[in-house]
Structure 1
Amino acid sequence: MKPILALLQFCTTLPLGQAADFEQFARRSYLYPLAGYVTGGIAALLVFPITSPALGAAVALAAVLILSGANHFDGLLDLGDGLMAHGSSDKRIGAMTDRNTGAGAVAAGIVVTLLAFAGLQTATPIWAAILIAEVCAKLAMAWMTVLGTPFRTGIHSYLHGFARRSFLVFAAVLALPLLLLPLPPATPGAAIAATGAIVVAMLLLGRHLFGGVNGDVVGATHEITRAGVLVLLALL
C-alpha cells in the first residue's frame, strides 16, 4: 500500500496523513492509472445524480481539477507558453519554465478546457465518461514516464530513471477494468487507443520543440488526453 499512498499523495489533494516515501511510487510509476480510478470515481459519484448535462460536466471537471490540485493543469499552461515562444529550443524551454503566465498559457488552458467541457456534456453517461477519461489521462502519464527522454533534471527525469519498458504493459493492464463498465467494450477500448495516439504525438512534439520531455510536458499530456478522450467519447 505504500506505493499507492505515495502515488495518491503526489496526484491528489486528498488528506492522506504523513507523507509516504516517494521512491516507493517512483519505482512503480505504472501504478498511475490507479489514481485515475480514485479521482474519476469521486467525480463520477458527484455527477451521478445530476440530470443536467452542462451542470454535470462542469461539476465533474471542477472535481478532477480540485482533486489534482491543478498540478497537471499547471503543466498545460506552461506548455502553452513554450508553444507560443519563437526561436531555439532553449528559448522555448525558457518560456515554458518561466514563472510568469503568458498568452500562450491562457490560450492552452481555455482551448483544452472548452474541448473537455463540450465533450463531457455530450458524452453519455457523464459519470462513465469522466472515469474513463481520468484513467486514460493517468495511463498517458505512465507511458510518458517510460518513453519521454528528459531534457533537464527534475521530477520527470527522476521517475524516468526508475521506469522500465515493462511498465508500459503493466500500466495498460491496470486500465483494462474499464472494459467492465456497462458500455460497449469498443468504447473504453477506443479511449485507450486514443491515449496511445496522443502520447505518441506529445513525444514527437516534445522532441521537436524542446529536445525531450519534462514534467510540464507530462502534465500537459494528462490534460490533453482527458480532453481528447472526452471528445472521442462524445463522437462515438
Structure 2
Amino acid sequence: MEDDSYFEDEEFSPIRSLLGLLTFSTILPINVFTSIEYMTKLTWAWPFIHIFIGILAAICGYISLEILHLNSFFAAVIVYAFLMIITGYNHLDGVMDMADGVMVHGEPERKIRVMKDSSVGSGGVATLFLVASLTIAGIYNILDYNFIIGIIICEMLAKTSLLTTALLSKPLTPGIGSYFINETTPSKYFISTAIITTFAFLLGGLVGIFGALGAIISGTIIAVIAKRNFVLANGDVLGMSNEVGRLFSLLFMAVALYFL
C-alpha cells in the first residue's frame, strides 16, 4: 500500500471508482483503474464490495463440503486459501510489518522504521502464523455448525474492522493508507457500518450481529495498539485490522452459535 503510481488520474466516476477499488483489493481481471484520490472517496463502500468476495468463498466452501465431500477442516483451509489468493495476499504483509513494529523496543519513530522495513522478523512471521491458524479454526468452527453464510459475513466485516481502525487513527504520510484514513469520516463510517450490520443481521440473525460487534471491537483494538506504538497509522496497520477483523468476527459468531 505504498506506491500510488499504479493509478491513473481521471475525472471522478462512482462506478469506475468502485471497480477501481475492486481491482485494487483483488486479483479479479477487471483492470479498471482510477486515481487514488477518487478511489478512496468510496472507502466507506469497501465492505459492500467484499460481500461479493464472501459469496465466492462461500460457494467454494459449499463445493468442498457438499460436492467433494471433504471434512470441515479441509474445507476451512480451502476457503481461507481462496480468500487469500483472490485478494492477492493484499494484507498479509501488513500483519507481518505491524507485528514487527510492535515487537521492537524504542520510540515510535524507531517502531515505524521497523514497520516500514522490507525485511520480516520472527515476530511478523509468528503473528501471521497465529492469525492464519486461528482464522482457519474459526472458519472450521462455523462450518461445523453448518453456518456457511458466516463466510460471507466475516469477509464483509473484515473491511468494517479496517474502517473502524481508519476512523480512530491519524494517518502516517505519505502513503496510500493515509488516503483511506482521511476519507473515513464519522458520517461515512456510521452509515457504512449501520448498513453492513443490517446485512449481517439479515444473513445470520443475532449471530451476524455478534460478528459485526467482533469486527468493531477488533478495529478499535488495532487502532489503540497502533496509537500506543506508532502514534500514527498507515496501510500496514489497516491491513492488520482487516485480517484480525475477519478473525474476531468468526470468533464472536462461533461463540454466538454455541449460546444462541
Q: Percent identity?
A: 26
Mapped to 2, the partners of 1:55 and 1:126 lie a distance apart of: 16
The alignment status of 1:73 with 2:87, answered yes or no, reads no
Deviation digits for residues 92-119 of structure 1, max 9, x if unmatched?
1111110001101111101111111111
Partner of 1:35: 49
- 1:165 positional shift: 1.6
The alignment status of 1:25 with 2:39, answered yes or no, reads yes
The alignment status of 1:209 with 2:229, answered yes or no, reads yes
Structure 2 residue matching 1:221: 3-state secondary structure: helix
Structure 1 residue matching 2:100: 3-state secondary structure: helix
Mapped to 2, the partners of 1:217 and 1:174 lie a distance apart of: 24
> Superposition RMSD on alpha carbons, in Å?
1.5
- 1:145 positional shift: 2.6
Structure 2 residue matching 1:100: 3-state secondary structure: coil
Most deviating of 110-119 and 153-162: 153-162
1:114 counterpart letter in structure 2: S
The alignment status of 1:100 with 2:114, answered yes or no, reads no
Most deviating of 121-130 and 1-10: 121-130
Contact 1:56 1:126 in 2 (8 A): no
- 1:231 positional shift: 2.0
Contact 2:91 2:243 in 1 (8 A): yes
Match for residue 200 of structure 1 among 216, 220, 226: 220
Question: Structure 2 matches for 1:119-134, cutoff 5 A?
Answer: 119-123=138-142, 124-125=145-146, 127-134=148-155
Mapped to 2, the partners of 1:201 and 1:18 lie a distance apart of: 34
Match for residue 62 of structure 1 among 73, 81, 106: 81
Deviation digits for residues 189-236 of structure 1, max 9, x if unmatched?
011111111111111111100012111001000001111111222222
1:229 counterpart letter in structure 2: S
Structure 2 unaligned segments of length 5 or more: list them. 1-14, 66-70
- 1:126 positional shift: 5.1
2:164 counterpart letter in structure 1: W
Mapped to 2, the partners of 1:49 and 1:28 lie a distance apart of: 33
1:49 counterpart letter in structure 2: I
| TM-score, length of structure 1 as denominator length | 0.93
Mapped to 2, the partners of 1:191 and 1:155 lie a distance apart of: 28
Contact 1:2 1:21 in 2 (8 A): no
Structure 1 residue matching 2:63: 3-state secondary structure: coil
Q: Aligned pairs, how many? A: 234
Mapped to 2, the partners of 1:126 and 1:86 lie a distance apart of: 42
Which is greater in Rg?
2
Partner of 1:172: 193
Judged with a 3 Å threshold, the aligned counterparts in structure 2 of structure 1 residues 115 and 19 are, in CA distance, closer, same or farther, namely same
* Structure 1 segments of 4+ aligned residues over 4 angstroms from their partners: none
Contact 1:37 1:135 in 2 (8 A): yes
